[in-house]
Amino acid sequence: MSLSRTVITIIALALAATSVEAMSSRQTCKYRGNVYLDNERVVGSTLTCTCSGERWVNCQANVVADSLEHVVADSPEYDMSIGSVPSTKESIRDVAGVEGAISGLIGAQVGFDAFLNNFDAEDFVIDFATQPLESTGLGGTSQPANRNNVPVIQASNMAQTRFRIAPCGINLPHVHPRGTESVYIIEGALTVGFVTEGGRLILNDVKTDQSTFFPQGLLHYQQNMACEPAGFISILNSSDPGLLVIPAALAELPSEALEATFDEDAAFVNQLRIGLPAGPARGRAECLRRCGLL
């Protein structure tokens, strides 16, 4: 082989290695053994999604203009405009499905089996070790698995969240307007309670391998009164159960309403607003001292 051909071969190999290295360093999305680059769109049998930061995002139902009659017209969450429908004429790779967040699927009458075909077997497993933390409080963490980050869960019409509650921590009083919550304790013990419409407090201490539930729309909370961490899995019977945290919601009311509600002056209301913690919240001083944390 001549010197010039040898040099050309070496350069070609170097360029190929550089190309592979560059591709491996870029954020990609995977599906059925195939690798898709950032900003690459994929058309599936029922969904079209875009790869972004190792996740499929901006997913939409594949509804074409001549079949809009198959869309539920009274669904407020579905964009009925023709411009919102992904074009099937674009030069995009066509595969049988996608993984990642869903938007625009609600209201489209997509066949159940066709919807499931968008996902690999492993998509039906929720790995909380890889789910992002959503909470910002000092008393624990929460990792939700819902239709926004685990789209296949929409097929079961449910949502799950993994909670870790620190010693003395509390998952602040809240309600789920569209879902009943079941709680299974996987570590430690918790004091839990909810209030019925008639004003009755249902209070219990639950420990590892025990479960309880909170009826839809009723005010409830979970608190760790022990000096060891506690953990539980929350399962709701809706993929969109909603969440209204009561302290934060109260703080949004006008001062006049809060002053009348608590029969206190403006100074009290202002202090109340300033002191509201994010959840899960850190415990009170007495519990923290008892546990040697203060």
Q: What is the pLDDT of residues 108-123, one digit of tens each?
A: 445 777 888 888 888 8
d(CA 98, CA 134): 24
Would you say residue 286 has pLDDT above 60? yes
Would you say residue 97 has pLDDT above 50? no
Pair 188, 72 in one domain: no
Would you say residue 63 has pLDDT above 70? no
pLDDT band at 44, cuts 50/70/90? low
> Could you report the per-residue pLDDT of 67-81, keeping only the tens digit for each?
333 333 333 333 333
Domain that holds residue 223: 140-287
Pair 187, 233 in one domain: yes
Asked whether residue 131 is assigned to any structural domain, the reply reads no
Asked whether residue 151 is assigned to any structural domain, the reply reads yes
**DSSP per position, 45-102:** SSEEEEEETTEEEEEEE---GGGGGGB-TT-TTS---GGGSPPSSS--EE-S---S-B
Last residue of a domain, one of 61, 91, 124: 124
Pair 154, 259 in one domain: yes
pLDDT at 1: 53
Last residue of a domain, one of 90, 124, 158: 124
pLDDT at 100: 38
Residue type, 181: E
Give the CATH number of the domain where residue 183 resides: 2.60.120.10
**The tokens of 192 are what?**
């839990």
> Could you report the per-residue pLDDT of 226-263, keeping only the tens digit for each?
999 999 999 999 988 999 999 999 999 999 999 999 99
- The region of weakest confidence among 50-59, 235-244, 245-254, 282-291 is 50-59
Whether a cis peptide bond, with omega within 30° of 0, leads into 280 is: yes
Pair 144, 282 in one domain: yes
Would you say residue 17 has pLDDT above 70? no
Pair 155, 278 in one domain: yes
**The tokens of 169 are what?**
């921590």
pLDDT band at 31, cuts 50/70/90? low
pLDDT at 67: 34
> Could you report the per-residue pLDDT of 268-279, keeping only the tens digit for each?
988 888 888 888
Query: What is the SS3 assignment for 220-284?
Result: EEEECCCCCCEEEEEEECCCCCCCEEHHHHHHCCCHHHHHHHHCCCHHHHHHHHHCCCCCCECCC
Asked whether residue 7 is assigned to any structural domain, the reply reads no
d(CA 194, CA 171): 12
Q: Structural domain tally of the chain?
A: 2
Pair 92, 208 in one domain: no
pLDDT band at 32, cuts 50/70/90? low
**The tokens of 157 are what?**
């019409």
Would you say residue 209 has pLDDT above 60? yes
**The tokens of 208 are what?**
């590892």
Pair 227, 159 in one domain: yes
Pair 46, 156 in one domain: no
Last residue of a domain, one of 93, 124, 155: 124
Averaged pLDDT for residues 158-176: 96
Share of the chain above pLDDT 90, in %: 43
